[in-house]
A and B are shown apart, each in its own frame.
Chain A
Amino acid sequence: MIGLAHFLAVAAIVFALGLYGVLTKRTIVGMLMGIELMLNAVNLNLVAFSRFITPEILTGQVFAIFTITVAAAEVAVGLALFFRVYRDRNTVHVARLNTMRW
């Protein structure tokens, strides 16, 4: 029988993978993908909690829809900025984003 703990475990693994991706990837697209993984882990958590903890109220599932919408907006803006950075300096490597440092 698959219970709440299984969903939470999968979500935790996906979240950890996403965070690892954001912290270690050296290209902008890789980092954006890591962020997407983190947000999907959140969705998994929300839907699982909604199903197992409050099955009669759908707050968690509604929240997940909002999360998906916001994630789409973030990626849209992210890709626009990504194009801008690429046009400015012909690279998407984060190590080259070093015009400013203290």
Chain B
Amino acid sequence: MNLALLSSEIAIVVLAVLLICFDLFMPHRETRRSLGIVAACGVLAVLVHSFTQYGTVGTVYGDYFVVDHLALFFKQVFLTATLLTILFSFGYVEKFTQNKGEFYALLLFALLGMMIMASAHDLLTVFIGLEIMAVVFYVLVGFDLENIKSSEAGIKYLILGSASSAVLLYGISWIYGFTGSLLFKEVAANMAATPAILMGLGLIVAGFCFKLSIVPFHMWAPDVYEGAPTPITALLAMGSKAAAFAVLLRVFLVAFAGLKLYWAPVLSVLAALSMIVGIVVAIWQSGIKRMLAYSSVAQAGYILSGLLAANAAGVKGMLFYIVLYMVATVGAFAVVVAVEEHSGSDAIAAFSGLAQKSPLLALVMTISLISMAGIPPLAGFAGKLYLFIAIAAQGYLWLVVIGFVMSMISVYYYILVVKAMYTHPVQDDRVLTVNGPLKLVAMVSLLATLFIGIYPEPLAELANAAARALW
């Protein structure tokens, strides 16, 4: 057994446990920012280390845990997302009245769950990774004890999340019973389109669609996104969604590849519904977090559509889109955190006149939102292009048309925010102060969105290499 393959996960666990110990022995009056800095440095070190793992492909614990280019690609996405989240949450964490140190440790445990999901090569490991991530997120969503919305969001997420996990598990138990194995490859080898297996498949689709907030399983997303502490909302949108996609790729393109005839029509309809419902409902939202929640429902629909191509081009499009969605989301949420700290509200009205108070934040928000809408020359355009080309080649032209029309409509509500920032009058004359790490995250997001949009080849190459690991 090659433990070196597990080094990233082991490092994250050690780091998280160390943070809890530091937090215990630290005097109460100290701020916990030092813990955040330790966490950020540790995650950065693991991220750098993960680049040295390219080229080593192998499995640990029998075939249950695999490290290949696809897993590494996703782990780097999660590590980057968590790193940026830690950096822009320093100011937010100061507002909590207790358990500030645990916040960072819990973030790392959520990261661990995502990393296990990226490497999972059987349904049991998928379940364990998923639950590590989910249980930590239940805690984190309800973390803000001063905010009545936070506990409400937490309990809603917990009940709906556990119920969906139970549905997913019931599906897994049927697949296990009728294929005799949990390993993806053996499941694929013993696959037959019997009613029992199709029922298991249906339950698994429902369970995953919940985690991905695909319509009609998206009901939890707006409430949880609104009530959760904003950095957690960001990590839910970026990390938990990407992790569910990491699992989805292996489950549907390896284990259930033989049943594509059955799952492809269902998923194509669900993807189309997500795009339509997410974007149409987002138009009516007055809170930015709720608006971004519905927009994330639509984005999940776009990413899901890449799965229908079921080839390397489609997977490459998905991976590419996941990265640029992460980059745009982190920028948008960093700005939301700054504005929320300043005005105490997440209403779109709170963004009035932001361009005069802080031109940088307004610019970052604008670029992020326009990238999500998919306007050239930003990253979102390149991402949608790759996805649409891949699925159009497989005969899903109708889905491309829906996706294109919907992304045009989405420009409308993204522009509403931009309009508020640039044309509405400033509401008060207090100075908006932005701390250094948050500014850094905003700059990184801005530059990355522009860079990927203008010069997408390097990322496309990485995504391509990762996608080929599946076949």
Binding site for B on A (CB under 8 A): 8, 15, 18-19, 22, 28, 31-32, 34-35, 38-39, 41-42, 45-46, 48-49, 53-54, 59-60, 62-63, 66-67, 70, 73-74, 77-78, 80-82, 84-85, 88-89, 97, 99-102
Q: Which residues of B contact A81 (CB under 8 A)?
A: 138, 142, 151, 154-155, 158
B335 CB, nearest partner CB in chain A, Å:
22
Q: Which residues of A contact B162 (CB under 8 A)?
A: 32, 35, 74, 78
User: Does any Cβ of A come within 8 Å of B241's Cβ?
Assistant: no
User: Does any Cβ of A come within 8 Å of B222's Cβ?
Assistant: yes
| A31 in contact with B169 (CB, 8 Å) | no
Q: List 17 A-B contacts (CB under 8 A).
A: A8-B177, A22-B159, A32-B162, A38-B163, A53-B180, A60-B173, A63-B127, A63-B176, A70-B128, A81-B154, A84-B154, A99-B148, A100-B226, A101-B223, A102-B222, A102-B281, A102-B285
| A22 in contact with B163 (CB, 8 Å) | yes
Q: Which residues of B contact A45 (CB under 8 A)?
A: 170, 173-174, 177
For A77, give its contact among B138, B172, B176, B284 (CB under 8 Å): B138
For B151, give its contact among A18, A42, A88, A101 (CB under 8 Å): A88
B170 CB, nearest partner CB in chain A, Å:
5
User: Does any Cβ of A come within 8 Å of B290's Cβ?
Assistant: yes
Q: Which residues of B contact A32 (CB under 8 A)?
A: 159, 162
Q: Which residues of B contact A70 (CB under 8 A)?
A: 127-128, 131, 135, 165
| A59 in contact with B176 (CB, 8 Å) | yes
- Please report the C-alpha to C-alpha distance between residue A84 and residue B98 in the assembled complex, in whole angstroms: 14
Nearest-neighbor residue (CB-CB) of B158 within chain A: A78
Q: Which residues of B contact A31 (CB under 8 A)?
A: 159, 163
| A99 in contact with B152 (CB, 8 Å) | yes
Which are the 10 A-B pairs with shortest beta-carbon distances? A49-B177, A38-B166, A45-B173, A84-B151, A42-B169, A70-B131, A81-B155, A35-B162, A81-B154, A100-B223
Render B220-231 as a binary contact track against A, CB cut-off 8 A, 1 for contact.
Answer: 001100110000
| A41 in contact with B181 (CB, 8 Å) | no
For A89, give its contact among B128, B148, B154, B177 (CB under 8 Å): B148
- Interface of A, secondary structure class, is helix
| A85 in contact with B152 (CB, 8 Å) | yes
Q: Which residues of A contact B463 (CB under 8 A)?
A: none
Nearest-neighbor residue (CB-CB) of A31 within chain B: B159
B290 CB, nearest partner CB in chain A, Å:
7
Q: Which residues of B contact A101 (CB under 8 A)?
A: 223
Q: Which residues of A contact B158 (CB under 8 A)?
A: 74, 77-78, 81
For A28, give its contact among B128, B139, B159, B177 (CB under 8 Å): B159
| A28 in contact with B149 (CB, 8 Å) | no
Q: Which residues of B contact A78 (CB under 8 A)?
A: 138, 155, 158-159, 162
- Please report the C-alpha to C-alpha distance between residue A13 and residue B216 in the assembled complex, in whole angstroms: 25
| A59 in contact with B182 (CB, 8 Å) | yes
User: Does any Cβ of A come within 8 Å of B45's Cβ?
Assistant: no
Given A35-B159, A102-B281, 8 new contacts (CB under 8 A) = A45-B174, A49-B173, A49-B177, A78-B155, A81-B158, A97-B152, A100-B223, A100-B226
